[in-house]
A and B are shown apart, each in its own frame.
Chain A
Amino acid sequence: MSEAGTQTAIAHARAGLQPPAPLPSVAAVEAALTEVPDPELPVLSVVDLGIVHRVDVDAAGIRVVILPTFVGCPALDVIRSSIADRLATFGLPVRVDTTFEVPWTSDRISPAGRRALASVGIAPPSEPDAVRCPFCTSASVAMDSAFGPTQCRSLYYCRACRQPFEALKAV
């Protein structure tokens, strides 16, 4: 504990107050965020998806700044409240903000996240002409439609193993 911290603790003890709970480290908050799944791609945590831009912890509370994958992403409110719910265990006020300060791009998805996507049959993001089938890894694929079941996914068909599949858009 720093000298200032010691002084504060002594002051609290003299006043007969409980010392405030120690603040969680940023690393502890980040570790907790790895347990928050993305609602549209639940095999990925918000950390693997790369949308956590910044974590600040101070006496006022925990502030998490996230990057929307898409400007109009309808899952944002759910993501905000899942993050707030998970971090509530630290016993501090939690604030979740969004920013476009840097754009979320699909190369922010972690290697573990890319593997998790492929394991559920979703091709990880790559330029439209470099997509590979997540089932048989063939490059002989065709885009059926740039738009799929969520804003961030496209529809493809694999000519080699004859499976339709989805690919994350490269944005």
Chain B
Amino acid sequence: MTTARGEAARPTAPPAPSVEGLDDLLRSMADDEFVIGFSDSEWTGIAPLLEEDIAMSSLAQDELGHAQALYGLLAGVTGAVDADTLAYDREPTDYRHARLLDHGRGDWAMTIARRYLYETADAVRLRALTTGTWLPLAELVGKLVREERYHLMHVGLWLERLASTAGEPRDRLIAALESLGPDAGTVFTPLPGEPALVEAGILERPMAGLEIAWRAEVAPVFDRLALPAPPPTRDPARGRTDHGQAFDWLHGEFTSVRRSDPGATW
């Protein structure tokens, strides 16, 4: 504890040319965390094991907390009212999460496969932001990576468990990976305002470069477990805009309380 006074104010306003890029980046990250967090919260009460019920609920709670913090930064950058307005008051077509997260909850293997693909990609993306020049984001990311480490450890163990148990567990995992694979790379869909972020030193390198790094990182794991590695991304240009019916349903779910009593607070 200190009693520092008169210290230089920390810059919280981003450099002007990068505002549009930050809008794209924060929106995509916050929507990713919000949608995967909300999807996984659907396992609360019905997960296959009691420990998993707790784990999945805890993971979901972490992700929703991350989304809240990212929406908070986004609100500050764009002048939106607050995090809740961004989370709940948009039309389904205005969300910018990756299409990887638009496959519905599915079975347990689908949940593990989706989370493994997402967590590994998110880890690469976060790493590219930790040394960023815009402090509010770099500081938040420094905190996020400490929590995400546990997510990756947990889902990694489940991937191994399903992959190495012949029969239904392995068969279902392979089916899930084949269904999700073509959308896995959508986490790295290039953002319109990305060049300004790289220029300003907020993002270490473009999404395309991060995707290459991610594929190189996961390839040995898929190889060792003899699982189908994610193929090239299907329709990459629309990786964050083309959400489909599964998301329409999810959107109806997560906005239902808000719609039933607009403006209510906790």
Please give me the residue from chain B that is nearest to A33 by CB atom. Answer: B1
Distance, CA A146 to CA B59, complexed state (A) = 10
Query: What distance in Å separates the Cβ of A133 from its nearest Cβ neighbour in chain B?
Result: 19
Q: Which of A56, A71, A101, A155 contacts B147 (CB 8 A)?
A: A71
Query: What distance in Å separates the Cβ of B133 from its nearest Cβ neighbour in chain A?
Result: 15
In residues 1-17 of chain B, which contact A (Cβ within 8 Å)? Answer: 1-5, 10
Query: What distance in Å separates the Cβ of B71 from its nearest Cβ neighbour in chain A?
Result: 12
- Binary interface profile of A, 99-119, with partner B (CB < 8 Å = 1, else 0)? 111111100000000000000
Query: Does B55 touch A at the CB level, under 8 Å?
Result: yes
Query: Does A169 touch B at the CB level, under 8 Å?
Result: yes
Q: Which of A52, A57, A74, A105 contacts B1 (CB 8 A)?
A: A52
Distance, CA A169 to CA B136, complexed state (A) = 25
B150:A71 contact, CB within 8 angstroms = no
Chain B residues within 8 Å of A54, by CB: 1-4
Count residues of chain B with CB under 8 A from any CB of chain A: 33
Query: Does A145 touch B at the CB level, under 8 Å?
Result: yes
Chain B residues within 8 Å of A128, by CB: 153
Query: Does B191 touch A at the CB level, under 8 Å?
Result: no
Query: Does A35 touch B at the CB level, under 8 Å?
Result: no
Query: What distance in Å separates the Cβ of A60 from its nearest Cβ neighbour in chain B?
Result: 12
Query: Does A5 touch B at the CB level, under 8 Å?
Result: no
Chain A residues within 8 Å of B1, by CB: 26, 30, 52-55
Chain A residues within 8 Å of B149, by CB: 171
Contacts A55-B3, A70-B65, A72-B62 given; does A146 touch B54 at CB 8 Å:
no
Count residues of chain A with CB under 8 A from any CB of chain B: 33
Query: Does A135 touch B at the CB level, under 8 Å?
Result: no
Distance, CA A101 to CA B9, complexed state (A) = 12
Chain A residues within 8 Å of B66, by CB: 71-72
Chain B residues within 8 Å of A146, by CB: 55, 150, 153-154
Q: Which of B4, B54, B143 contacts A149 (CB 8 A)?
A: B54
B139:A101 contact, CB within 8 angstroms = yes
A147:B55 contact, CB within 8 angstroms = yes
Query: Does A151 touch B at the CB level, under 8 Å?
Result: yes
- Binary interface profile of B, 141-172, with partner A (CB < 8 Å = 1, else 0)? 01110110110011000000000000000000
Chain B residues within 8 Å of A149, by CB: 54
A56:B62 contact, CB within 8 angstroms = no
Contacts A71-B69, A105-B146 given; does A151 touch B62 at CB 8 Å:
yes
Chain A residues within 8 Å of B111, by CB: none
- Binary interface profile of A, 61-87, with partner B (CB < 8 Å = 1, else 0)? 000000010111110000000000000
Please name 14 pairs of A and B residues whose Cβ atoms are closer than 8 Å in the assembled complex, sorted by A.
Answer: A26-B3, A54-B1, A54-B3, A68-B143, A71-B62, A74-B65, A102-B139, A103-B142, A104-B143, A105-B146, A146-B153, A147-B54, A147-B57, A147-B58
Seen from chain A, the residues whose Cβ lies within 8 Å of a Cβ on chain B are: 26, 30, 52-57, 68, 70-74, 99-105, 128, 144-149, 151, 154-155, 169, 171
